[in-house]
Structure 1
Amino acid sequence: MPVLVITGTGTEVGKTVATAAVAASALAAGRTVAVLKAAQTGVRPDEPGDAAEVARLAGPVTTAECARYPEPLAPATAARRAGLAPVRPGDVVERAQKLAAGHDLVLVEGAGGLLVRFDEEGGTLADVAGALRAPVLVVASAGLGTLNTTELTARELRGRGLELAGVVIGSWPDSPDLASRCNLADLPTVSAAPLLGALPAGAGRLEPADFRTTAPSWLAPRLDGTWDAEAFGVREAP
């Protein structure tokens, strides 16, 4: 997996922290890692973005952004309102390929969900994954409503002939409700892909040293971790 595309089922599902966990686990396994943010929105030029947050939590990764827009909107809309050039899928693909030439793993983090538009022509992160022939990791929420958004994302990926590497729960609550606990069994069913991890709620607030030490325990071996989906499911079963 020289390139792994990471998307969410929507906003605020823990995508950036999950990206940091994947990066930290890969670093712990001795791999060199680059993190590419396809389009950063809602951040001023002098503020750290999502790629910087990944580096803060995960450690020594190469970071890059293809474009940055000040308003917290879909990239195409944010670019238009700012009077700036949009980021296009080809821009992201070219940058990812250059990073892949010098790193063992490149993580391409999207903005919001899979079909959020980058430009007025309708280019999306799905187009990037297709051009790179890269697997896609889907970060989903834990609770009620996640089955629908996860299945829709999985169907879109498969309809495009793209590989769904698996699903990671971006924030597993300290006291999960019934829906969350049932979703541990149902998410792999609706996505037809393995559950590859569950990050504890508040993981992004850990001290970086603690985050890096603990991150592999949140992710399955395919993501350089030690997390066991079956054991986790038994422990949290309703």
Structure 2
Amino acid sequence: MTVIMVSGTGTEIGKTVTTAAVAAVALAAGRSVAVLKGTQTGVAPGEPGDAQEVARLAGDAVTTRELARFPEPLAPDTAARRAGMTPVSPQDVADAARKLAVEHDLVLVEGAGGLLVRLNDEGGTLADVARLLDAPMLVVAAAGLGTLNATTLTAEALRARGVAQLGVVVGSWPAAPDLASRCNLADLPGASGRALLGAIPEGSGLLDGPAFRAAAGSWLGPELGGTWDGASFAVREAPAPR
């Protein structure tokens, strides 16, 4: 597939690190990769944003593009309105993704926050971008308590809008997972209706680029070009029976 959308089930969920891991694995396989960030909020002019972080982790070979940047850490439509700037529409993001797809084997479109965060005053969302592109959504979920509800709601929203879900990646798997996280590993496929496609270890975004790229394939399943074995991982991390 040429374009993959990446959405979290909420904020600070691990979308950018997951996007970087998918990009790194694709680059290692010899594919040309572009990462598109339609709206970046909460970052001042000149500061590195999510797209630049992907390039740091995945390598300079990845093409990055950011369409708009608003300084306050708010939903894109609110941030644009408060800054007196023009928001980005779903059509803007879709058009940019199509242009990148002409020259790249894979285009990753990273959202802002959750799936239905408003991009503009008309209520456009990342789901609308996916529909315009007929592109599947990779959902990045949290590990702990509350993730089953958020993942189920995201999956239901995708189905209601006719957007295909590629699968779920746990964006930050704890070094010392609690009982809820361990149980959720088995329950997330049922909540999402799709398979688990990976688990990114907590703190992976703090690695330097070479270390990140060397390990990325072991965090993602074969569907995303990696070697992660979801069944073995679930057995290893399963809670002890009562």
| TM-score computed with the length of structure 2 as normaliser | 0.98
Whether 1:123 and 2:121 are equivalent positions in the alignment is no
The CA distance in 2 between the partners of 1:2 and 1:26, in whole Å, is 12
Find the residue that maps to 1:100 and give its secondary structure: helix
The CA distance in 1 between the partners of 2:176 and 2:82, in whole Å, is 41
Alignment of 1:59-78 (within 5 A): 59=59, 60-78=61-79
Deviations 1:160-195 (A, max 9, x none): 111100000000001101100011110000110010
The CA distance in 2 between the partners of 1:137 and 1:120, in whole Å, is 25
Residue aligning to 1:13: 13
Residue aligning to 1:27: 27
The CA distance in 2 between the partners of 1:7 and 1:221, in whole Å, is 20
Residue aligning to 1:52: 52
The CA distance in 2 between the partners of 1:151 and 1:29, in whole Å, is 32
Measure how far apart 1:5 and its partner are: 0.2
Residue aligning to 1:4: 4
Stretches of structure 2 that go unaligned for 5 or more consecutive residues are none
Find the residue that maps to 1:38 and give its secondary structure: strand
Deviations 1:6-46 (A, max 9, x none): 00000011110010001001111111000000100001111
Deviations 1:125-179 (A, max 9, x none): 0000000000000000000000000000000001111110000000000110110
Measure how far apart 1:231 and its partner are: 0.4
Residue aligning to 1:172: 173
The RMSD of aligned alpha carbons is 0.5
| TM-score computed with the length of structure 1 as normaliser | 0.99
Whether 1:214 and 2:215 are equivalent positions in the alignment is yes
Instruction: Give the 4+ runs in structure 1 shifted more than 2 A.
Output: none
Sequence identity (%): 70
Find the residue that maps to 2:24 and give its secondary structure: helix
Find the residue that maps to 2:103 and give its secondary structure: coil
Whether 1:105 and 2:106 are equivalent positions in the alignment is yes
The CA distance in 1 between the partners of 2:228 and 2:211, in whole Å, is 17
Stretches of structure 1 that go unaligned for 5 or more consecutive residues are none
For 1:233, give the aligned amino acid. A
Measure how far apart 1:66 and its partner are: 1.4
Residue aligning to 1:203: 204
Find the residue that maps to 1:137 and give its secondary structure: strand
The CA distance in 2 between the partners of 1:236 and 1:32, in whole Å, is 34
